[in-house]
Amino acid sequence: MIDPQTLPYRPNVGIMLFNREGALFLARRTDLRDVWQCPQGGIDDHESPEEAAIRELREETGLRHGTLLGSYPGWLSYDLPAHLIGKALHGRYRGQTQRWFAMRMTEPDTAINLAGDGTEPAEFDKWEWVAPDEVLRFNLGFKRALYEQILPTLSALAPPLPAKG
């Protein structure tokens, strides 16, 4: 049996992607039954958190561009549930320590491609634009408390934009 306390946290980024109307991109995972989340992923050794956020956005949504609006202050860590220790995250980590960013989508919805950039297997099979006050109605799995914590701060960075005209 692996003692989770002996394992490190994996450095990671999360992206709350907002459209012009202030709605949040939320996607359903392919590997967990009906669990939804925002794009996220590990930080490579040579990357800054901001660079990792742009790469993860591209890998998981196919989007090439986004405007960085700001970030949640500081890093947040979470532990994996006991049944995932030694299995998830290649079995090497007890959980993740994350830096979360708010980004504004600058491409049309038609640019979203859940196959991402083709470098990784698709993480998501469905996506929706969700009003920030509706996000917690989705099944967020064991990351629910994390979303409860960051959603008010990051959604405040992405109010609806004035109509084009």
Q: Which residues of 68-102 are buried (b: 16+ CB within 10 A; e: fewer)?
A: ebebbeeebebbbeeeebbebbeeebbbbebbbbb
Q: What is the pLDDT of residue 1?
A: 65
Residue 80 domain-assigned (yes or no): yes
Identify whether 163 is part of a domain: no
Determine the average pLDDT of the residues in 128-136.
97
149 in a structural domain = yes
Q: How far, in Å, CA of 25 to CA of 132, rounded?
A: 10
CATH of the domain at 84: 3.90.79.10
Residue 100 is predicted with a pLDDT of 98
Contact 155, 22 (CB under 8 A): yes
- Which sign does the torsion angle of CA 19, 141, 42, 122 carry? negative
For residue 164, being part of any structural domain is answered with: no
Query: What's the mean pLDDT in 99-113?
Result: 96
Q: Please count the structural domains in the chain.
A: 1
Q: What is the pLDDT of residue 24?
A: 98
In the predicted model, what is the mean pLDDT of the chain?
92
No. of H helices and E strands in the chain? 2, 8
pTM of this prediction? 0.93
Q: What is the mean pLDDT of residues 21-33?
A: 93
Instruction: Kindly state whether residue 162 falls inside one of the protein's structural domains.
Output: no
Distance (Å) of CA 35 to CA 10, 106, 123: 21, 26, 11
Task: Look at residue 161 and tell me if it is in a domain.
Answer: no
Give me the domain span that covers residue 127. 4-156
In a domain, 102, yes or no: yes
Q: Is the pLDDT of residue 45 over 80?
A: yes
Q: Is 92 contained in some domain?
A: yes
Identify the pLDDT of residue 82.
82
